Structure 1
Amino acid sequence: MGEAVLYHGEPNGASLTVLAALAETGLDISCRPIELLAGARHHLPGLAEPIALDLGIEGEGPVLVIGGEAMTESVFLAQYLDELAGGCGLQPDDAYAHWDMLMWCRQITERLSPAAALLGNLASAQAAIAAIPADRFAALTGAIVSDDLRGRWQALHSGVVDPAQVADSEAKVDAAAQRCEDKLADGRDWLMGPFSIADLVTYSWLAGMESIRPAAFACRPLTRAWLARVAARPCVVTALSLATVSEPLRSWAPGPEINRWG
């Protein structure tokens, strides 16, 4: 394996998933924080094919560069790190349980993460993005290969808000919290039985919603207790300790594209 560097934002959303997975594995990989709202993800050093950064759908997610090759998508990166470490327990050994975990993760990344990113950006990032001067903003977005991601930056810069999209995102956060509540109803501590990537990716997108969409958690005590258990997990504590801001779960950048198919 060549030199490995993980470029990441504040420990929230996709960056939190990968930072926590890395901490769980104990692998020696250099972590380099970048300023996502300054467009730093699109100017990473030593990459001959910048388009590789935008092949994923995660938006401003973390990038793992190994030997000059860029790798993206937090669930895939968490799997890669777990397997690179020889299997540290973040993925079930049983074939069906492994499939079940990946199906759960797909639900989270396709439904919850775009919704959480939209609500999080409207709550914390829109003002900062809107304040970027036009010429600097044009240069920033001009470096973004993905048309979809560039469009999300532009919508936040212009202040265009679709009330129907906001309402749909709130409903999806509510549904994710209820899905966790239902899964935990049998008394288990973790979503898929043993602690896994499913816990990391769900926590990473849902935890920041407690302050933005408190109604989603008001009548879901099992989900709140699970969030507290994940927050106390050593790998999550380690990941959150890498924050450069006082409240990393309130730190958002343009995220995944809203699922057009509901």
Structure 2
Amino acid sequence: MNAVLYHGEPNGASLTVLAALAQSGLDIECRPIDLLAGERHALPGIADPVALDLCIEGEGPVLVIDGEAMTESVFLAQYLDEAAGGAGLQPMDAYARWEMMMWCRQITERLSPAAALLGNLASSQHAIAAIPADDFATLTARIVSDDLRNRWQALNDDVVDAAQVADSETKIVAAVERCEKQLADGRAWLMGGFSIADLVTYSWLAGMQLLRRDAFAAAPLTTAWLARMAEQSCVKAAFARSTVSEPLRAWAPGPEINRWG
């Protein structure tokens, strides 16, 4: 099997998959790519570029197995866990696994777009706006997804939607409150046992501690859980692949803002 994982800095979707890979113990080559240079949309050996954009996460990681591209961090984490014969990232009980997947779905549909929007406005908007016009046109021409291309264009045009920012800040607070409620029974991990739910939630929420500290002011259980996550060996292994000093401040155009609230 010829397997390569193309990934950005360990933050957001790339952090989820890098940590899941470390937990799995699988020997898969990791190749860092510059997401803000559009490298994700020009990967070598991918015959069908549409495969790269069949993903709601935006500039998420891409796992290529024998020439076939796979995306979506939660599904990739499941693949890695199962390819390893069960690395402990998914509950064995069917109902518990359903609960985990429902949690992950809410995180990817509500928290991740909000975190990506706030993160991009804070860290990547100026870099994208500074891309020369001809280079930007070449970059965006490779993006198959209209939605994702529009998010790149908005950042390039320095467009800030105040209503979207306010809504995103509300969603960050809601995610923290949800974690706090989930941890209120004394459990160490969100689903009871350590799972993909912890990885995906941490991957999108940890960077918000740097940008929206007030959201965590009344959430001691969530703050303690974030600290436990940072000490997990698989998370440390993911961060060790960073090429920048503060990977949790490294953002790239992410998921589409949920249009259904």
Q: TM-score, normalised by structure 2?
A: 1.00
Could you say which residue in structure 1 is the equivalent of 2:150? 151
CA distance in structure 2 between the aligned counterparts of 1:55 and 1:230, rounded to whole angstroms: 29
CA distance in structure 2 between the aligned counterparts of 1:173 and 1:79, rounded to whole angstroms: 25
1:1-262 → structure 2 map (5 Å cutoff): 2-262=1-261
Moved over 2 A (4+): none
Which amino acid in the other structure matches residue 9 of structure 1? G
SS at match of 1:159: coil
CA distance in structure 2 between the aligned counterparts of 1:207 and 1:261, rounded to whole angstroms: 25
Which amino acid in the other structure matches residue 124 of structure 2? A
CA distance in structure 2 between the aligned counterparts of 1:220 and 1:57, rounded to whole angstroms: 29
Which amino acid in the other structure matches residue 81 of structure 2? D
Q: Deviations over 1:82-117 (max 9, x none)?
A: 000001110000010000000000000000000000
Deviation, 1:132, is 0.3
CA distance in structure 2 between the aligned counterparts of 1:4 and 1:242, rounded to whole angstroms: 18
Q: Deviations over 1:119-166 (max 9, x none)?
A: 000000000000001110000000000000000000000001110000
Structure 2, unaligned runs of 5 or more? none
CA distance in structure 2 between the aligned counterparts of 1:39 and 1:87, rounded to whole angstroms: 34
Deviation, 1:50, is 0.8
CA distance in structure 1 between the aligned counterparts of 2:259 and 2:166, rounded to whole angstroms: 14
Q: TM-score, normalised by structure 1?
A: 0.99
Which amino acid in the other structure matches residue 193 of structure 1? G
Which amino acid in the other structure matches residue 26 of structure 1? G
Deviation, 1:23, is 0.1
Deviation, 1:211, is 1.0
CA distance in structure 1 between the aligned counterparts of 2:46 and 2:239, rounded to whole angstroms: 28
Q: Deviations over 1:28-81 (max 9, x none)?
A: 000000000000000000011011000111100000000000000000000000
CA distance in structure 2 between the aligned counterparts of 1:127 and 1:88, rounded to whole angstroms: 40
CA distance in structure 2 between the aligned counterparts of 1:70 and 1:88, rounded to whole angstroms: 22
Q: Deviations over 1:221-255 (max 9, x none)?
A: 00000000000000000000100000000000000
Please provide the CA RMSD for this pair: 0.4
SS at match of 1:249: helix
- The alignment covers a number of residue pairs equal to 261
SS at match of 1:32: strand
Which amino acid in the other structure matches residue 94 of structure 2? A
Deviation, 1:215, is 1.0
Structure 1, unaligned runs of 5 or more? none
